[in-house]
Amino acid sequence: MKPPRSRWTRRQFVRAGAAAGIGTVLASSVSATEEVHAPTILERTPSRPVVVSSANGNKFKNGGPRTCVQEAFERVTRGEDVLDALLAGVNILELDPSEDSVGYGGLPNAEGVVQLDASVMHGPRKRAGAVAALEGVRTPSLVARAVMDSTDHHLLVGEGAQRFARQMGFTIEPDLNTEHSRAEWLKWKQQTDPAHYPVPVPRAYGTIHCNGVTARGEIAGVTTTSGLAWKIPGRVGDSPILGAGNYVDNDVGAAGSTGRGEANLFSLASFLIVEEMRRGAHPKDAALTAVRRIVANTVEKRLLNARGKPAFQLKFYVLSRTGQHAGVALYGEKDVAYAVCDAAGPRTVPMDFLLEGSPTGA
């Protein structure tokens, strides 16, 4: 007796043929020497509270008992709003005169004026606010929070941002320079021709980004900076731009950056990282995708070192909704690290990176 013949519908036949064709194409597209690496997939586990930041977030205390990540994590675990907790953390750096890349005492622009940028994003409320080229306020992150809470806008800049801050009750100071920042500016001026537009010398990018998640899976992110030292007045980098220096999606995670803002702006890398996580990528893999994009977009000779690679550093701090995190740098320079605080306490841990060596080509 013959076995019964299976009867396929036309739709089943077409589906089977298509699947076989796809398998053939995939097999033919991989050489015999290549390995297929599946991306790391996010674990669908309950959220665990954690705060992540740039390395300076576990260094400065401004005379107090805790660093940025410590302060933020303690507040998160006490049940405070996640953005309020992060702001309390970054305010420590903004107010610390010894931290010259953020807030009070941040290195000034080419005219000796301290101009500050900041952005905040609140995941649960899906709200955001930012300020750029703000003068006279030590805590630009709090002004960014006021933009989020009190206006229908996302970004205020320059004199308008300062006027808004005054209306909100912030103290406006005539000069945010400290003795240190002013001395550094005078030193720079001595190295340039004072009779002409300043000729740049090697300059520092300084910033803090901090993001965090609560046990309820509520996420926020803050980026605050004095920007590029000796910058052209009015220059704005990536820090106050949503999707570049700071991006949060409460269903997915958060990402932010420090380093060359222009490179990050061109690629909107923080947005890209969060979107990669949305597709299932681990924070590390998502950030490496963004870093590779930045390398591919860097083609101008003036931005390349002797090896033909980017002549600048860029770092990303990434956090998933479940509490997984990563710090990823363009270059694996000595001591390249990021700060973390969770139930195990505050610590500074090594970053992953794409390229060996340093931006100078060494």
DSSP class of residue 43 equals P
The C-alpha atoms of residue 64 and residue 296 are separated, in whole angstroms, by 43
Residues 6+ apart with CB under 8 A from 59: 67, 339, 348
Q: Kindly state the tokens that stand for 51.
A: 């705060």
The count of other CB atoms within 10 Å of the CB of residue 271 is 18
Query: Per 3-state DSSP, what percentage of the chain is helix, strand, and coil (rounded to 5)?
Result: 30, 25, 45
Residues 228 and 217: their CA atoms lie apart, in Å, by 34
Residues classed as catalytic:
207
Under 8 Å between Cβ of 264 and 314: yes
Location of structure tokens 């303690």: 74
Number of residues in the chain: 362
Longest dimension (CA), the chain: 103
In angstroms, rounded to a whole number, what is the distance separating the alpha carbons of residues 163 and 165? Answer: 5
Q: Where are the alpha helices (DSSP H) in the chain?
A: 10-28, 68-77, 82-95, 140-150, 158-167, 179-190, 261-267, 269-278, 283-297
Contact 116, 226 (CB under 8 A): yes
The one-letter code for the residue type at 270 is S
Contact 361, 353 (CB under 8 A): no
Q: How far, in Å, CA of 155 to CA of 265, rounded?
A: 15
Q: At 343, give phi and psi (nearest 5°).
A: -60, -20
First to last CA, the chain: 78
Q: Which residues of 37-58 are buried (b: 16+ CB within 10 A; e: fewer)?
A: eeeeebeeeebebbbbbbbbbb
